[in-house]
Structure 1
Amino acid sequence: MKDAMSDGPLLELKQVEKRFDLDQGFLETIKMRNGKVIREKRSVHAVNNVSLKVDRGEALCVVGESGCGKSTVARLIAGLLKPNAGEIHYDGTRIDNQSRRSMIPLRKKMQMIFQNPYASLNSRMNIQQALEEPVRYHNPGFGRGEVRDKVAEVMRSVGVDPSWSARYPHEFSGGQRQRIAIARALTVDPEFIIADEPISALDVSIQAQVLNLMLEAKDQRGLTYLFITHDLSVVQHFGTRVAVLYLGSVCELADTATLFENPKHPYTRALLSAVPQLKDDRPNHIRLKGEIPTPINLPQGCPFQSRCAYANDRCLAEQPRPVQQPDGSMVACHAVEEDRMVD
């Protein structure tokens, strides 16, 4: 059975939705509207009908503006949040409806690297203790020497001197802390890593080092990545495929080369136009106009309609569905579907 599943995607999201209720108690739901008392429960629609597949050995990058739902998607996959609708499958098994106890074996296969290296390490633990903890938890049969050898091996692999193991997190720079956080994720020999903006808190001079380290780990250990970022220049260097999110919905999904050479969705074009380029043939920066909708009150039709130069009546009334393009990319846009885009 396992062999039959191995041909499918390692991870699959099927029409996943996540809402966060703003009004918790009964009194918070009571509102005045046109002189009348009504009951209204408001929610933040963070993730809306997202479907994604991640194949073994690839690095799928999820990009978009702050607040578009990228980190929520990461936390849903990691099991830190439960979806309100849809399904999440890992290696052919549904995981979003499992208990915390039944998820324990999966924790060894799936690890997460967080955005802030200053907050993700326990300040009361030295580095040896921080790295030994997951090894002991997931490998109860390991002896003390085996645990120490494993920690030393992983520390060397990420460029951290094992002789530093008695030091505490505050004694390291941001880049060194993120290397240690990567080492902690690798100590249990995972096959899938969720990286939630792992370099955004680091100096630009250090970002390339950490990215290259993650790519080396991918090649040496056969890792699969879900890489969350808002930096498209990082995507071009790191990703095999890219999913572009806007207000919790996937508006474009394509191979990295295809997306950068021929972006189709108006939002993707605007994002890419803001990336500094040395070439002269790139289009000028596209300035988006209009109001940014709130995820509390989503537009009825296309979520991008209020900022799109190509929006028409259909865009205001009907939400677009992802449609496969001749080059293999998926685009959710009425203007692309009707060939109304003008280059």
Structure 2
Amino acid sequence: MSELMKPSQRPGGDSARAGETLLQIRGLEKHFPLSGDFLEQLHFEGGKLKRRQEFVHAINGVDIDVKRGETLCVVGESGCGKSTVARMVMGLLHPSAGEIRYDGQRIDDLSPRQLLPYRRRMQMIFQNPYASLNPRMSIQQTLEEPLRFHHPDWNPQQILDKIAEVMASVGIDPEWGKRFGHEFSGGQRQRIAIARALAVEPEFIVADEPISALDVSIQAQVLNLLMDAQQTHHLTYLFITHDLAVVEHFGTRVVVMYLGRICEVAETRSLFDSPRHPYTQALLSAIPRLEDEKPEHIKLSGEVPTPVKLPSGCVFHGRCPHAFERCRREIPQLIEAQGSQVACHGVEEGRI
């Protein structure tokens, strides 16, 4: 992997407003029904007709603030709810509970027409570049579509000029616009997906594991492209990933999730130097290191509980070596701990 720029080497966002809260999430929940429609939920038990409902509790009370100009990385193992949060922020899924506010305005309860002004300000880069481009549309048509929708007053020449500009900015020859997605490699397709997001000049981009489907040799190229775009266009990123090596180089702050809940929120350097939550400690100890004095690998016992029947209290208590009785019955809340936010009774009580 080629060299990545450090966060300190790249200014992000509008310096005049940097640090303001751009996106605010409070009490976010998402439950996916498993029981089917009303008739499928009816069952006979003990000679009586009863209704039984089951849900996948994907997100369970998430609070997140994204500051203008930063790259907030959301990490955690598969199934922890990272991508579900991303899709709810973009309006692709509707929350079961909670609020999402963008620049002070609540957006999760807006109609599709009311959301239109925010569609231009918020864009998304999807995980799979092989599925996110329409195979029946040329690259030029793919980039034209959002421009024609958001700028109906633009003439054809303005649209062509903008397409050539964004293609050149992501390292794609504008002459290739007449080609189709299958004629490009995975890295080139992801560059085109980034160009599509940048075409309408957004201020906030949700990137849902944008490099996980790419070869390691080109991951750094795409990350550096995202960093350059952040500096040039004053972007704010909500970056979803499971690659902690990427987070260490790319993120400004990190949110660690486990089974639909937030365990810890901290500045990137602080999180990697001194993780507070037992799950974060175990997660970071699994990173392969070449140093002689690398931290000892923490082996967690047990399996990740099912999100259909969440454990009581702290969702991590069944695998935590520091769990006490309080952890089994009381859900921990995020508290300030040495500059970080940690949801852990052991940290609160000074045991960890």
Q: Same fold (TM over 0.5)?
A: yes
What are the equivalent positions in structure 2 for 1:45-194 lying under 5 Å apart?
45-194=57-206
**Residue identity (%):** 62
Map of 2:341 onto structure 1: 330
Map of 1:339 onto structure 2: 350
The equivalent position to 2:26 in structure 1, one of 14, 17, 41, is: 14
Instruction: Quote how far apart the aligned CAs of 1:28 are.
Output: 2.9
Greater RCO (CA < 8 Å, at least 6 residues apart): 2
Cα distance in 2 for partners of 1:233, 1:198 equals: 14
Distance 1:168 1:332, change over 3 A: same
Instruction: Quote how far apart the aligned CAs of 1:8 are.
Output: 3.8
Query: Between Structure 1 and Structure 2, how many residues are aligned?
Result: 336
For structure 2, the residue ranges without an aligned partner over 5 or more in a row are 1-16
Map of 1:253 onto structure 2: 265
Map of 2:11 onto structure 1: none
Match of 1:314, SS? helix
CA contact (8 A) 1:9 1:56 kept: yes
Distance 1:268 1:32, change over 3 A: farther
Note the alpha carbon deviations across 1:91-145, whole angstroms, 9 max, x for none: 0100000001111111100000000000000000000000011111101111101
TM-score, normalization by structure 1: 0.95
Cα distance in 1 for partners of 2:295, 2:46 equals: 48
Cα distance in 1 for partners of 2:178, 2:94 equals: 37
For structure 1, the residue ranges without an aligned partner over 5 or more in a row are none
Map of 2:313 onto structure 1: 301
Map of 1:315 onto structure 2: 327
Cα distance in 1 for partners of 2:210, 2:66 equals: 19
Cα distance in 2 for partners of 1:115, 1:179 equals: 12
Instruction: Quote how far apart the aligned CAs of 1:317 are.
Output: 0.6
Instruction: Quote how far apart the aligned CAs of 1:337 are.
Output: 1.1
Distance 1:319 1:135, change over 3 A: same
CA contact (8 A) 1:6 1:91 kept: no
CA contact (8 A) 1:175 1:206 kept: yes
Match of 1:250, SS? strand
Instruction: Quote how far apart the aligned CAs of 1:36 are.
Output: 7.6
Match of 1:145, SS? helix
Distance 1:32 1:254, change over 3 A: farther
User: Structure 1 counterpart of 2:266, which letter?
Assistant: A
TM-score, normalization by structure 2: 0.92
